[in-house]
């Protein structure tokens, strides 16, 4: 297994400047925390193993898990440009359900499901509560208008009461202990 950590953008060496002198291309250069040049170290990676790119928290941000036709039908590490990232090649296959949505981490040897922190779960619950409250407000507004104007049907008046009750219960939801949150049932 090969892992090269923490590539940062660096100024090119004199040799690198000469190499691209007169070129319309002005490439960027990266160096790992142990001093490896990105372009030079790519040859250390195998052509037939899965490559992952991960951030400083270990969260997998990109993957090459299928052969790249334009790169010799290999699992080409050159598909990455790992600025402020690390790169690893892994044995075998990726776990079922894997995606690069931020829910997976590289633990130094394997790609595993990321366990969200309590703070992340609370933030997610806050977002859910806010979204549900916004939806309730959207449902209540025209029903309240009809009621205020004295033109609400019997069903609209019942719906208004149901939505207002839901909104009150939703407002009382304590999001401090996710994921065990008892969300109120949305009116039909």
In a domain, 179, yes or no: no
- Does residue 15 surpass a pLDDT of 90? no
CA distance 96 to 103: 12
Q: Do 81 and 145 belong to one domain?
A: no
> For residues 11 and 100, is the Cβ–Cβ distance under 8 A?
no
| pLDDT given for residue 58 in this prediction | 96
Q: Do 14 and 82 belong to one domain?
A: yes
| pLDDT given for residue 70 in this prediction | 84
Q: Do 78 and 36 belong to one domain?
A: yes
Task: Show the domain range for 29.
Answer: 2-113
Per-residue model confidence as pLDDT tens digits over 73-127? 889 999 999 999 999 999 899 999 999 999 999 999 999 999 989 999 999 999 9
Q: Do 85 and 134 belong to one domain?
A: no
| pLDDT given for residue 72 in this prediction | 85
In a domain, 16, yes or no: yes
β-sheet bridge partners, residue 58:
none
Per-residue model confidence as pLDDT tens digits over 129-169? 999 999 999 999 999 999 999 999 999 999 999 999 999 99
Q: Do 26 and 49 belong to one domain?
A: yes
> For residues 40 and 12, is the Cβ–Cβ distance under 8 A?
no
Q: Do 103 and 128 belong to one domain?
A: no
Q: Do 10 and 103 belong to one domain?
A: yes
Q: Do 148 and 75 belong to one domain?
A: no
Please count the structural domains in the chain. 2
User: What are the contacts of 68-74 at 24+ separation with CB within 8 A?
Assistant: 72/47, 74/47, 74/48
**For residue 53, what is the enclosing H or E element?**
strand 50-54
Q: Do 137 and 123 belong to one domain?
A: yes
| pLDDT given for residue 21 in this prediction | 83
In a domain, 130, yes or no: yes
Q: Please state the rounded mean pLDDT for residues 5-18.
A: 92
Closest by CA position to 100, among listed 158, 50, 137: 50
Task: Specify the 3-state DSSP secondary structure of 62.
Answer: strand
């Amino acid at each position: 297994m090969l892992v090269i950590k923490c590539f940062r953008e660096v100024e090119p060496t004199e040799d690198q400047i000469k190499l691209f002198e007169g070129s319309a291309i002005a490439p960027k250069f990266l160096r790992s925390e142990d001093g490896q040049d990105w372009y030079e170290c790519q040859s250390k990676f195998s052509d037939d193993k899965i490559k992952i790119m991960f951030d400083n928290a270990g969260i997998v941000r990109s993957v090459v898990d299928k052969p790249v036709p334009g790169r010799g039908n290999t699992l080409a590490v050159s598909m990455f440009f790992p600025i402020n990232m690390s790169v690893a090649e892994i044995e075998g296959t990726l776990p079922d359900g894997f995606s690069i949505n931020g829910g997976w981490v590289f633990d130094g040897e394997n790609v595993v499901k990321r366990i969200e922190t309590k703070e992340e779960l609370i933030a997610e619950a806050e977002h859910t509560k806010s979204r549900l409250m916004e939806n309730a407000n959207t449902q209540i507004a025209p029903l309240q208008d009809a009621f205020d104007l004295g033109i609400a049907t019997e069903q609209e008046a019942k719906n208004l009461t149901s939505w207002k009750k839901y909104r009150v219960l939703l407002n009382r939801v304590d999001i401090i202990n996710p994921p065990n949150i008892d969300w109120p049932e949305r009116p039909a």
